[in-house]
Structure 1
Amino acid sequence: MSFDYDKIKDKQDNQGYWATSSDLFMVLSLVFLLLYVVAGLKSSTYSIQKNKEFKRVMELNADLKEQLKVYNTVQQDYLNKQASSEEVQVYENLMDKLDLLQEDAKKEKESLEAQAAENAKKEQALNKYQQLIRNIINSNMMAKNTIQRRDQQIAEVKTESEQKIAELETKYKDVAKNLKKAKSTLKSSERKLAAANRKKELLVTQIEETQKKFEQELKELEEKQQKQAEKERKSFEQKLKKQKMSAKAREKALKQFQKEQEAKFSKQVSALSEKVETNQSELKKAKARLNARKKLAAQIKNNFKKAGIDAEVDGNTGDVVINFGDEYFDTGKSTLKPGMKKILKQSIPEYAKGLFSDKKIADKLSYVEIVGFASPTYKGKYVDPQSMDEKDRKAIEYNLKLSFNRAESVFKTIFNQNEMTFKEQQKLKSLVKVTGRSFLAEKIDEMDRDIASGMSQKEFCKKYDCKKAQRVIIKFDLEN
């Protein structure tokens, strides 16, 4: 189920409407309840009065029945024995009237019973209506509780949405920041890859040229040998003619000459073959060293990736550019900041683990070099790294010393066991050397150098990012 924030917001806007409706329902419920109570009281009073009247009538009726029974006895006796015809006539008239009164009483009784039944129905209807009112009141109360819970849920969802939006904004900023770093790293990697490709193409070209050269030398040697052999054979034949040797002796001398020539040629071919084999062996060793470098570089890169470490690793040479994130050396300083030390503690053990992962290759390690750098600026101005002027010599010497001090700070932190300890620490220390490259390795085009020569340090650093020039590179080399 997806979260529809607009829908919830619309519901929240209608909150006042629902609250007003709820209050209206409550008022109507109270009115109906009062009506029900008044009707109930009225019905109850009327029923009580009717019941009292009915009881009184019943008691009167019972009394009259008794009186009538006595009267009937006396009357019957009187009529039979003493009454005159007129009295009998009066009696009959009275009896007719009594019959009428009895009929009226019966009708009155039936009317009262019908009214009582109707009152019972009204009472039942009022009970149902009372239950309905109760249900309405309960529904209103439940509706109020539902609205309160809904308001609470809306408030919680709103808070959660704001938190998620804040998290997304933070993630977006981090992604944008990482993307910017990645673009910068990509440009640097592309430059390094282009340089490596040019180096590779140059090496292939050199190998092809060397092969062609050897083939040409072999061809020229063969031609030279053939010409020399032909020349010597002709000279030898002329010599034989002059000596006037017999045919048998001439044939023997000619065979001896050919044998010597063949031996001489074989010796030259053998020497050339040995030279070719030596070059092929050296080429094979160079390829093996290159593959070993690539293998170690891949292992180091994989270790960094698993550990979540941001570092540039050259896939061909294995050179590692340590990325200190937002923390760099202060201008003119070589002291490592706490954040920089933390990055070294994370990256160096993984670097050492990758470097010594293959024992055969590890045995061929000749050295591990920590190289420090400095930006090409001095006393607030840009200094051309290629300048040979005497006025720029102090700047080069200052930055050379500064870059060495920065590399030395990295060295001291890596091998200070109070700062960090890792399994390959002693092995690594026996191979490490520390160097400073100043800004001599910075590659700035001729046109850019001409433009930058008039810049202040602030302008130059804004354009070329001096912080990246304050980097530290760790590289290794293998024995031949």
Structure 2
Amino acid sequence: MQVEELEHQLKMYESVKNDYLANQAPKDEVQEYQELMDKLTLLQEDTKTEKDRLVKEALENEKKVKALNKYQQMVRNVLNSNKMAKSKILNRDDLIKEQDVEIETKEGQITTLQKDVETKKQLIAQGEKQIQETQQALQKRLDEIRAAYKMNKMTKAHFEKRMAQVRSDAHQKVTALSNANAQYQAQLQQTNAQLGQTQGELQKTQGMLAQKEGEARGLEGKLGEAKGQLGAAQGQLANAKGQLAATQGKLASTEGQLNSTRGALDATKGQLNATIGKLNSTEGQLNATQGQLAKAKAEIEARKSVAGEIQKGFAKAGVKADIDLQTGDVVLDFGQAYFESDSDRLKSEMKGVLEKAMPIYSRSLFGNPKVSDKISAVEIIGFASPTYQGRFIDPQSAKPEDKQALKYNMDLSYRRANSIFSYMLDEQNMKFDHQRELLARMKVSGRSFLEVMKVPNRNIATAAEFCKQNDCKKAQRVIIRFSMDTKK
């Protein structure tokens, strides 16, 4: 179940990421993301190529080690030949016993040094083998960690931590082995120097022996030939050592390049993590927007519910009104019983409409427990005629008399809305359920007629001509509008 949940979360994250990149992300951010992904893929391919090359070089080193072993065997054969020749020389004459003893001593030193050389080479071979095994174990461990990560057995943070730890351990181990090999190489060079010195001393002793032993010259010739073979073998050995040292240098250089590539890969991963952080931030913003959208939808549904209740109640009571089923705004239709011109006094017919409509309106708002605590205000909006003293008023006119007329009509709009509120405030006129809750949230305001009318032609002289071209009755209205607190 946890794996399925993680897979579901990954799919959701991938969907949000793709949607963001496709519809919301700037072009430069999308391009940056694509470049980072391409660079990451390229670095992975370079790392694989580098790994293959290192494996190939390791195989070549193994072949060179085998060649060194072959050269060492040749040296052993030459040494054996020398021993046989010197054993014959020892059987010659007592005069040369002292030189033979010295030669034997030198040969013993040479043998000891050769053994030391062989031991150092074996240690170097073991170090190279351990380096190869460490690299193979590193690759195997990395593959296991990647497999575990792909199978969702570990988190991304744990994956990166394990990868870094494994690489660090392998690097330390390889460094320690390389340092040990370097020490062995230094000791091998020192031993070779001692071997050369001892061989020089041996040649000097053999020269003295050649002067004293005429009969042994033939054997000494054979001994010289064996020494020549030994020198050739040692030359080949030195050449092989040089090639091995060059290969080790290449290996160290390649390891440095690999570390550099890993650093670039880590930097790219950092940039990728930064981009993922931006995506996470955008996802948070998206979630916040979705929350606001959900609240807005809830408010729309609540308004629709209230508007439906008002419509049903008005239809049952015979109240004429235009009801916006989306916002819940109510436009009361007073017909011909609207305010007299230039008057804010309620007619008896208007009072009758209010006495029927307002109890239904109040019950629809405050009798519904789902919306009653969310109602923050109820506004009565009054409107005045677009005419004044028998002429049309252009609201864009800069004439003082037109400005005065606009001011008068705006004030008349407010007084008309206030007359309705005052009538509802007096419980002797009206008394209904939830009246106090309604009046506590009620406010009044006046509006320009241009809010409900669009005047295509403003070059009109008289009010009659204006009303002939436009329906002046549209301005004779009262709107009741409620507001909701979306935080509740």
Structure number with greater Rg is: 1
TM-score (norm 2): 0.49
